[in-house]
Amino acid sequence: MRVVVTGAAGMIGSNLVHGLNAIGIDQVIAVDDLTEGMKYRNLLGTKLADYFDREEFYARFERGELGRVDAVLHQGACSDTMEHDGRYMLETNYRCSKRLLDACQAQGVRLLYASSAATYGASGGFRESPECERPLNVYGYSKLLFDNVVRRMLGTARHQVAGFRYFNVFGPREQHKGRMASVAFHHLEQLREQGKVKLFGEYGGYGPGEQTRDFVYVEDVVAVNLWFLRHPERSGIFNVGSGRSQPFNDVAHATINATRAARGEPALTLPEQVEAGLIEYVPFPQALIGKYQCHTQADLTALRASGCDVAFADVDAGVRRYAEWLVGQG
Protein backbone atom coordinates (compact mmCIF):
# COMPACT_ATOMS: atom_id res chain seq x y z
CA MET A 1 0.00 0.00 0.00
CA ARG A 2 1.24 3.48 -0.90
CA VAL A 3 -0.01 6.23 1.43
CA VAL A 4 0.38 10.01 1.57
CA VAL A 5 0.39 11.72 4.97
CA THR A 6 -0.01 15.50 4.91
CA GLY A 7 1.12 17.40 7.97
CA ALA A 8 3.48 14.47 8.38
CA ALA A 9 5.91 16.23 10.71
CA GLY A 10 3.14 17.46 13.01
CA MET A 11 1.91 15.73 16.11
CA ILE A 12 -0.84 13.52 14.71
CA GLY A 13 0.78 13.20 11.29
CA SER A 14 4.10 11.96 12.63
CA ASN A 15 2.43 9.49 14.97
CA LEU A 16 0.47 8.22 11.96
CA VAL A 17 3.69 7.72 9.99
CA HIS A 18 5.17 5.74 12.90
CA GLY A 19 1.90 3.77 13.15
CA LEU A 20 1.88 2.97 9.42
CA ASN A 21 5.46 1.73 9.61
CA ALA A 22 4.57 -0.40 12.63
CA ILE A 23 2.00 -2.36 10.57
CA GLY A 24 4.41 -2.81 7.66
CA ILE A 25 3.46 0.13 5.45
CA ASP A 26 6.78 1.68 4.42
CA GLN A 27 5.65 3.30 1.18
CA VAL A 28 4.74 6.55 2.90
CA ILE A 29 4.97 9.92 1.15
CA ALA A 30 5.39 12.64 3.77
CA VAL A 31 4.08 16.14 3.05
CA ASP A 32 4.69 19.17 5.25
CA ASP A 33 6.12 22.67 5.51
CA LEU A 34 9.43 22.38 7.32
CA THR A 35 10.09 26.10 7.59
CA GLU A 36 10.17 25.26 11.30
CA GLY A 37 12.99 22.83 10.72
CA MET A 38 13.12 21.23 14.15
CA LYS A 39 9.90 19.35 13.39
CA TYR A 40 12.09 16.90 11.49
CA ARG A 41 12.74 15.22 14.85
CA ASN A 42 9.19 13.83 14.83
CA LEU A 43 10.06 11.77 11.74
CA LEU A 44 13.33 10.34 13.03
CA GLY A 45 13.32 6.55 12.76
CA THR A 46 10.50 6.40 10.20
CA LYS A 47 10.67 4.79 6.77
CA LEU A 48 9.54 7.13 3.99
CA ALA A 49 9.21 6.64 0.25
CA ASP A 50 9.45 10.39 -0.42
CA TYR A 51 8.99 13.86 1.03
CA PHE A 52 7.30 16.89 -0.56
CA ASP A 53 6.85 20.45 0.55
CA ARG A 54 3.12 21.16 0.85
CA GLU A 55 3.08 23.71 -2.01
CA GLU A 56 4.76 21.33 -4.44
CA PHE A 57 2.63 18.37 -3.36
CA TYR A 58 -0.83 19.83 -4.06
CA ALA A 59 0.09 20.95 -7.58
CA ARG A 60 1.82 17.70 -8.53
CA PHE A 61 -0.85 15.48 -6.99
CA GLU A 62 -3.59 17.28 -8.93
CA ARG A 63 -1.67 16.65 -12.15
CA GLY A 64 -1.33 12.96 -11.29
CA GLU A 65 2.46 13.08 -11.20
CA LEU A 66 3.02 11.01 -8.06
CA GLY A 67 2.13 7.63 -9.54
CA ARG A 68 -0.13 5.17 -7.74
CA VAL A 69 -1.44 6.35 -4.40
CA ASP A 70 -3.91 4.20 -2.45
CA ALA A 71 -4.90 6.65 0.28
CA VAL A 72 -4.22 10.15 1.59
CA LEU A 73 -4.27 10.70 5.35
CA HIS A 74 -4.79 14.46 5.38
CA GLN A 75 -3.65 16.00 8.67
CA GLY A 76 -2.17 19.21 7.33
CA ALA A 77 -3.94 22.35 8.55
CA CYS A 78 -3.62 25.57 10.50
CA SER A 79 -4.86 24.45 13.91
CA ASP A 80 -4.25 27.70 15.79
CA THR A 81 -7.63 28.54 17.31
CA MET A 82 -6.37 32.07 18.06
CA GLU A 83 -5.56 32.79 14.39
CA HIS A 84 -7.93 35.56 13.27
CA ASP A 85 -6.89 35.85 9.60
CA GLY A 86 -9.97 34.29 8.02
CA ARG A 87 -8.63 34.41 4.46
CA TYR A 88 -5.52 32.49 5.46
CA MET A 89 -7.52 30.00 7.52
CA LEU A 90 -10.02 29.26 4.76
CA GLU A 91 -7.33 28.97 2.10
CA THR A 92 -5.28 26.59 4.26
CA ASN A 93 -8.02 24.47 5.85
CA TYR A 94 -10.86 24.66 3.34
CA ARG A 95 -9.60 25.39 -0.17
CA CYS A 96 -6.56 23.08 0.02
CA SER A 97 -8.75 20.29 1.42
CA LYS A 98 -11.34 20.83 -1.34
CA ARG A 99 -8.65 20.62 -4.01
CA LEU A 100 -7.35 17.44 -2.43
CA LEU A 101 -10.82 15.87 -2.22
CA ASP A 102 -11.53 16.59 -5.90
CA ALA A 103 -8.16 15.17 -6.96
CA CYS A 104 -8.63 12.04 -4.84
CA GLN A 105 -12.07 11.32 -6.30
CA ALA A 106 -10.78 11.88 -9.84
CA GLN A 107 -7.82 9.54 -9.35
CA GLY A 108 -9.51 6.80 -7.31
CA VAL A 109 -7.66 7.62 -4.09
CA ARG A 110 -9.21 7.19 -0.64
CA LEU A 111 -9.21 10.24 1.65
CA LEU A 112 -9.09 10.13 5.46
CA TYR A 113 -8.91 13.62 6.87
CA ALA A 114 -8.69 15.59 10.12
CA SER A 115 -11.72 17.60 11.11
CA SER A 116 -12.14 19.00 14.63
CA ALA A 117 -14.40 19.15 17.65
CA ALA A 118 -14.03 22.94 17.27
CA THR A 119 -16.94 22.60 14.83
CA TYR A 120 -19.20 22.23 17.89
CA GLY A 121 -18.02 25.37 19.66
CA ALA A 122 -20.77 26.79 21.85
CA SER A 123 -23.04 23.78 21.39
CA GLY A 124 -24.14 21.69 24.35
CA GLY A 125 -24.34 18.57 22.17
CA PHE A 126 -21.53 16.75 20.40
CA ARG A 127 -23.19 14.68 17.67
CA GLU A 128 -22.12 14.85 14.03
CA SER A 129 -25.28 16.82 13.21
CA PRO A 130 -25.89 20.43 12.03
CA GLU A 131 -27.96 21.40 15.07
CA CYS A 132 -24.89 20.77 17.26
CA GLU A 133 -22.46 22.83 15.17
CA ARG A 134 -21.80 26.35 16.49
CA PRO A 135 -18.08 27.11 16.04
CA LEU A 136 -16.62 29.87 18.21
CA ASN A 137 -13.77 30.81 15.86
CA VAL A 138 -12.79 30.87 12.20
CA TYR A 139 -10.71 27.71 12.68
CA GLY A 140 -13.82 25.74 13.67
CA TYR A 141 -15.75 27.34 10.82
CA SER A 142 -13.08 26.38 8.25
CA LYS A 143 -13.32 22.75 9.36
CA LEU A 144 -17.12 22.81 9.31
CA LEU A 145 -17.18 24.30 5.83
CA PHE A 146 -15.19 21.36 4.47
CA ASP A 147 -17.21 18.81 6.45
CA ASN A 148 -20.33 20.19 4.73
CA VAL A 149 -18.73 19.67 1.31
CA VAL A 150 -18.06 16.05 2.27
CA ARG A 151 -21.62 15.57 3.52
CA ARG A 152 -23.08 16.75 0.22
CA MET A 153 -21.03 14.33 -1.84
CA LEU A 154 -21.04 11.21 0.35
CA GLY A 155 -24.02 9.70 -1.48
CA THR A 156 -22.26 9.90 -4.84
CA ALA A 157 -18.62 9.44 -3.77
CA ARG A 158 -16.92 6.68 -5.71
CA HIS A 159 -14.17 6.18 -3.17
CA GLN A 160 -13.84 6.27 0.61
CA VAL A 161 -14.00 9.66 2.33
CA ALA A 162 -13.84 9.70 6.14
CA GLY A 163 -13.50 12.76 8.34
CA PHE A 164 -12.47 12.61 12.00
CA ARG A 165 -13.53 15.25 14.49
CA TYR A 166 -10.63 15.09 16.90
CA PHE A 167 -11.30 16.21 20.46
CA ASN A 168 -8.44 17.24 22.81
CA VAL A 169 -5.55 15.13 21.55
CA PHE A 170 -2.43 14.75 23.69
CA GLY A 171 0.68 12.63 23.58
CA PRO A 172 4.13 12.23 22.03
CA ARG A 173 5.66 14.50 19.38
CA GLU A 174 3.82 17.74 20.15
CA GLN A 175 6.74 19.73 21.57
CA HIS A 176 6.90 21.98 18.47
CA LYS A 177 3.33 23.27 18.91
CA GLY A 178 4.14 25.89 21.52
CA ARG A 179 1.02 27.37 23.12
CA MET A 180 -1.16 25.08 20.95
CA ALA A 181 0.31 21.96 22.56
CA SER A 182 -1.96 19.91 24.81
CA VAL A 183 -2.85 20.61 28.41
CA ALA A 184 -0.84 17.55 29.47
CA PHE A 185 2.27 18.85 27.70
CA HIS A 186 1.99 22.28 29.35
CA HIS A 187 1.45 20.68 32.74
CA LEU A 188 4.58 18.59 32.33
CA GLU A 189 6.55 21.68 31.25
CA GLN A 190 5.23 23.76 34.17
CA LEU A 191 6.20 21.04 36.61
CA ARG A 192 9.69 20.87 35.16
CA GLU A 193 10.23 24.64 35.08
CA GLN A 194 8.17 25.94 38.03
CA GLY A 195 7.52 22.91 40.21
CA LYS A 196 3.74 23.36 39.97
CA VAL A 197 0.79 23.19 37.56
CA LYS A 198 -1.45 26.20 36.90
CA LEU A 199 -5.18 25.76 36.26
CA PHE A 200 -7.99 28.21 35.61
CA GLY A 201 -10.11 29.14 38.59
CA GLU A 202 -13.90 29.37 38.60
CA TYR A 203 -15.58 30.09 35.27
CA GLY A 204 -18.79 29.26 33.47
CA GLY A 205 -20.43 27.75 36.51
CA TYR A 206 -17.50 25.38 37.06
CA GLY A 207 -15.30 25.37 40.14
CA PRO A 208 -11.50 25.76 40.04
CA GLY A 209 -10.00 23.27 37.59
CA GLU A 210 -13.39 21.65 37.07
CA GLN A 211 -14.01 22.69 33.46
CA THR A 212 -14.15 19.43 31.53
CA ARG A 213 -12.92 18.23 28.17
CA ASP A 214 -12.79 14.99 26.24
CA PHE A 215 -9.06 14.20 26.30
CA VAL A 216 -7.92 11.55 23.80
CA TYR A 217 -4.49 9.93 23.64
CA VAL A 218 -2.78 10.28 20.26
CA GLU A 219 -2.08 6.54 19.90
CA ASP A 220 -5.84 5.94 20.03
CA VAL A 221 -6.33 8.55 17.29
CA VAL A 222 -3.80 6.67 15.18
CA ALA A 223 -5.64 3.39 15.85
CA VAL A 224 -8.90 4.87 14.55
CA ASN A 225 -7.22 6.08 11.35
CA LEU A 226 -5.63 2.68 10.77
CA TRP A 227 -8.97 0.94 11.38
CA PHE A 228 -10.61 2.99 8.63
CA LEU A 229 -7.61 2.38 6.38
CA ARG A 230 -8.35 -1.34 6.75
CA HIS A 231 -12.07 -0.76 6.02
CA PRO A 232 -12.37 1.14 2.72
CA GLU A 233 -16.13 0.54 2.67
CA ARG A 234 -16.68 2.91 5.61
CA SER A 235 -17.22 6.60 4.84
CA GLY A 236 -18.68 9.51 6.79
CA ILE A 237 -17.83 12.06 9.48
CA PHE A 238 -17.01 10.66 12.90
CA ASN A 239 -16.15 11.94 16.35
CA VAL A 240 -12.79 10.75 17.63
CA GLY A 241 -12.58 11.23 21.39
CA SER A 242 -12.59 9.02 24.42
CA GLY A 243 -16.34 9.42 24.89
CA ARG A 244 -15.76 10.61 28.47
CA SER A 245 -15.40 14.14 29.82
CA GLN A 246 -12.85 14.72 32.56
CA PRO A 247 -11.90 17.89 34.45
CA PHE A 248 -8.56 19.64 34.05
CA ASN A 249 -7.95 18.68 37.67
CA ASP A 250 -7.72 15.06 36.51
CA VAL A 251 -5.01 15.95 33.99
CA ALA A 252 -3.01 17.88 36.58
CA HIS A 253 -3.44 15.10 39.15
CA ALA A 254 -2.30 12.42 36.69
CA THR A 255 0.61 14.52 35.43
CA ILE A 256 1.96 15.23 38.90
CA ASN A 257 1.69 11.60 40.00
CA ALA A 258 3.27 10.31 36.77
CA THR A 259 6.19 12.69 37.33
CA ARG A 260 6.48 11.64 40.98
CA ALA A 261 6.43 7.96 39.99
CA ALA A 262 9.31 8.57 37.57
CA ARG A 263 11.29 9.95 40.52
CA GLY A 264 10.32 7.07 42.80
CA GLU A 265 8.00 9.24 44.91
CA PRO A 266 4.57 8.15 46.19
CA ALA A 267 1.30 9.29 44.62
CA LEU A 268 -0.72 12.10 46.20
CA THR A 269 -4.44 12.78 46.22
CA LEU A 270 -5.69 15.93 44.50
CA PRO A 271 -6.26 17.78 47.83
CA GLU A 272 -2.76 16.81 48.93
CA GLN A 273 -1.32 18.19 45.69
CA VAL A 274 -3.19 21.47 46.15
CA GLU A 275 -2.09 21.72 49.79
CA ALA A 276 1.52 21.05 48.80
CA GLY A 277 1.41 23.92 46.28
CA LEU A 278 1.79 21.58 43.31
CA ILE A 279 -1.43 22.96 41.81
CA GLU A 280 -2.19 26.68 41.61
CA TYR A 281 -5.52 28.10 40.45
CA VAL A 282 -5.27 31.36 38.50
CA PRO A 283 -8.00 33.84 37.44
CA PHE A 284 -9.75 33.03 34.17
CA PRO A 285 -8.25 35.18 31.35
CA GLN A 286 -10.40 38.08 30.13
CA ALA A 287 -9.35 37.37 26.53
CA LEU A 288 -11.03 33.95 26.62
CA ILE A 289 -14.37 34.97 28.10
CA GLY A 290 -17.12 33.93 25.70
CA LYS A 291 -14.67 32.06 23.48
CA TYR A 292 -13.98 29.02 25.64
CA GLN A 293 -15.51 25.56 25.68
CA CYS A 294 -16.07 24.59 29.32
CA HIS A 295 -17.30 21.11 28.42
CA THR A 296 -16.79 18.68 25.55
CA GLN A 297 -17.63 15.00 25.29
CA ALA A 298 -17.59 13.02 22.08
CA ASP A 299 -20.75 11.16 21.17
CA LEU A 300 -19.31 7.91 19.77
CA THR A 301 -22.59 6.51 18.44
CA ALA A 302 -21.67 6.98 14.78
CA LEU A 303 -18.11 5.72 15.26
CA ARG A 304 -19.31 2.55 16.99
CA ALA A 305 -22.06 2.04 14.40
CA SER A 306 -19.35 2.00 11.72
CA GLY A 307 -17.88 -1.05 13.44
CA CYS A 308 -14.81 0.73 14.78
CA ASP A 309 -14.10 -0.85 18.17
CA VAL A 310 -10.93 1.00 19.21
CA ALA A 311 -10.73 1.26 23.01
CA PHE A 312 -9.78 4.71 24.33
CA ALA A 313 -7.50 5.31 27.30
CA ASP A 314 -8.71 7.54 30.12
CA VAL A 315 -6.67 10.54 31.28
CA ASP A 316 -4.76 8.65 33.96
CA ALA A 317 -3.65 5.85 31.64
CA GLY A 318 -2.87 8.18 28.74
CA VAL A 319 -0.84 10.64 30.80
CA ARG A 320 1.09 7.78 32.40
CA ARG A 321 2.00 6.41 28.94
CA TYR A 322 2.94 9.92 27.78
CA ALA A 323 5.17 10.52 30.78
CA GLU A 324 6.88 7.16 30.24
CA TRP A 325 7.51 8.08 26.60
CA LEU A 326 9.02 11.41 27.60
CA VAL A 327 11.30 9.72 30.12
CA GLY A 328 12.36 7.31 27.38
CA GLN A 329 13.25 10.29 25.18
CA GLY A 330 15.47 11.71 27.88
- Residues serving a catalytic function are 139, 177
CA atoms within 13 Å, Cβ hemisphere of 290? 2
Amino acid 237 reads I
Please state whether beta strands 246-247 and 236-240 pair in parallel, antiparallel, or not at all (unpaired): unpaired
Q: How far apart are CA 168 and CA 160, in angstroms?
A: 25
CA distances from 122 to 82, 117, 119, 291, 295 (A): 16, 11, 9, 8, 9
With a CB cutoff of 8 Å and minimum separation 6, the contacts of 275 are none
Please state whether beta strands 212-213 and 246-247 pair in parallel, antiparallel, or not at all (unpaired): antiparallel
